[in-house]
């Protein structure tokens, strides 16, 4: 391991493969249909791996490790051969880098375009803890609040990213109105699973509303009874399931 990166793993093939798989999970779950969306992973204080645009762009569902490149916080190549062959960083790289600059607890950032989450927000339906054991991590996430950045803009510079961060505060997920979501976590897997939970809650809210029902938060007594099933289940087992879905074509 490089001596100037004591807290981080080297930016090797394993990390690139994990980000590529995570991009494909997003697409498989319908959170990043088409060519829009990207995932990043902090490698050092000043470098990150990020899904880049390639000369043969095919969309998130077909992301390969070769699409993941090491750049600095300004989007410059941070290694020999990075961004060669016609690759370029996402237009919304500042969305990632501003989170990493301001949130030292964060290592991974996911930006996706889940249509159900966008639709629920536009319909005036906030992401709320409307379920219980149906999705315990998602319920706890919603109970803490899911803020909304109210501008439907491309977050393509540090000023707009700073606005997004102001709306996001210290929360792990923010909805971008008329646009998508940003999910941030300590790991790529956790950031993606957060996004899946948020979209699932948004979908339920749309269904309840369409059926003429009224959204109600889980009672405090029920919330208090929800156990913490632990990271090995909430993240480890859940992530193995997502990867198995990829292999099965679900």
Catalytic residues: 92
DSSP, collapsed to helix, strand or coil, labels residue 40 as strand
Tokens of 132: 């219980």
Longest dimension (CA), the chain: 60
Reported in sequence order, the residue ranges of 43-157 that DSSP labels E, i.e. its strands, are 47-51, 68-72, 108-112, 148-149
State both tokens at 176: 């971008």
The answer to whether 112 and 37 have CB atoms below 8 angstroms apart is: yes
Q: What is the dihedral of CA 104, 107, 112, 116, to 10 degrees?
A: -80
Tokens 């109105």 belong to: 177
Helix (H, G, I), strand (E, B) or coil at 215: coil
* Cβ 148 vs Cβ 159: under 8 Å: no
């Amino acid at each position: 391991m490089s001596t100037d990166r004591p807290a981080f793993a080297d930016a090797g093939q394993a990390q690139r493969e994990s980000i590529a798989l995570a991009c494909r999970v997003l697409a498989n779950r319908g959170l990043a249909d088409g060519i829009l969306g990207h995932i990043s992973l902090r490698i050092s204080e000043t470098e990150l791996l990020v899904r880049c645009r390639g000369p043969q762009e095919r969309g998130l569902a077909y992301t390969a490790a070769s699409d993941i490149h090491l750049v600095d916080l300004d989007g410059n190549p941070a290694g020999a051969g990075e961004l060669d062959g016609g690759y370029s960083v996402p237009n919304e790289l500042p969305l990632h880098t501003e989170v990493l600059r301001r949130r030292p607890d964060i290592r991974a950032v996911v930006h996706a375009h889940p249509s159900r989450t966008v639709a629920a927000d536009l319909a005036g339906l906030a992401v709320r803890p409307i379920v219980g054991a149906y999705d315990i991590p998602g319920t706890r996430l919603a109970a803490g609040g899911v803020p909304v950045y109210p501008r439907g803009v491309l977050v393509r510079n540090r000023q707009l990213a700073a606005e997004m961060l102001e709306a996001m505060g210290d929360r792990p997920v923010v909805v971008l109105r008329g646009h998508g979501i940003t999910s941030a976590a300590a790991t790529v897997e956790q950031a993606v699973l957060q996004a899946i939970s948020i979209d699932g809650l948004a979908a339920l809210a749309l269904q309840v509303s369409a059926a003429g029902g009224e959204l109600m938060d889980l009672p405090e007594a029920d919330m208090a009874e929800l156990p913490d099933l632990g990271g090995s289940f909430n993240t480890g087992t859940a992530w193995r399931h997502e990867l198995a879905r990829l292999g099965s074509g679900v």
